[in-house]
A = this chain, B = another copy of it.
């Protein structure tokens, strides 16, 4: 008994906490975890893992944990006192803006950036094609019972500006290149990207916006990106331009966006993310013209979301146990 207890105590204590408000496809389940560990021989013997999905129980579940796996929507605001042994939090979401402020000092945070690749890129291309072919206009006319033709041209040769050229932005760029689009990118550093004709630094954003036939926003929410696409930036877009936001709602001034759409100063918009989610029923976005919305789900792959999150976590877990450098480490100053 004593030997067994000692052996058990030596195992790495890991807790996985799911958000009960998130869709089932986003949950990292024990069954899913066990299935994945078949590809990581010996791993299960080195850890002791628990699973939870009850915010009230979280404190108790993490009391002994050294590692916490949690989605971006889990409330970890009391972790500093609840989890004295915690050393590492693996987020199963790409965006960590809600977690970040509560990560206790000295605890590493890694995210699941890369998760949205194939499905997210495909949805971004879908949104660009919808905008190019006036689908938001058709949908608005249909809602009003109006037969109102609109004629477009193919998307080839048109210019796409991508703000945030990470995994999702790159997947979108790859498809857009296949459709013959010209691609410009904006990132904090402006570092060159082989999929992008020219990269601009965030500080040059206003220079590139007038060139956009389409603007695709995929940035995480950070101190720097909050409100990045404000009224002035929207005013710099050509009136025929379309906007897609698959990043975070608060990156864009949505009130200004509604005004621009209502005045016909933008051709259309496709939004998957909102400052408050679920979107309040009082929001003017619900009925804004030439706007198509999805409820923060369009970039998540129904079949592989949790599996991909687990792949990232298990890769990192092997690294952690071996004392190697973790991947996807979030820079707490930059926020991603």
Query: For A295, what are the chain B residues with a Cβ–Cβ distance below 8 Å?
Result: 138, 141, 147-149
For chain A, what secondary structure do more than half of its interface residues adopt (helix, strand, loop), or is it mixed? loop
CB distance from A274 to the nearest CB of B (A): 9
Contact check, A301 vs B138: say whether CB atoms are below 8 A apart. Answer: no
Number of copies: 2
Closest to A136 in B: B139
Which residue of chain B has the shortest Cβ distance to A22 in the bound complex? B149
Measured in the bound complex, the distance between the Cα atoms of B142 and A292 in whole Å is: 8
Task: Tell which of A47-55, A118-126, A198-206 binds the partner.
Answer: A118-126
With contacts A130-B126, A155-B122, A286-B145 taken as known, whether A150 is within 8 angstroms of B301 at the C-beta atoms is: no
Whether the pair A147, B292 counts as a contact (CB closer than 8 A) is no
- Residues on B with C-beta less than 8 A from A178 are 178
Q: Which residues of B contact A142 (CB under 8 A)?
A: 286, 292-293
Contact of A149 among B23, B118, B126 (CB under 8 A): B23
Nearest 6 A/B pairs, CB to CB: A151-B302, A147-B278, A126-B129, A149-B297, A138-B294, A147-B295
Q: Given known contacts A123-B133, A134-B298, what 12 new A-B pairs fall within 8 Å (CB)?
A: A23-B149, A23-B151, A25-B151, A118-B154, A119-B153, A122-B132, A122-B179, A133-B298, A135-B292, A138-B298, A142-B286, A147-B278
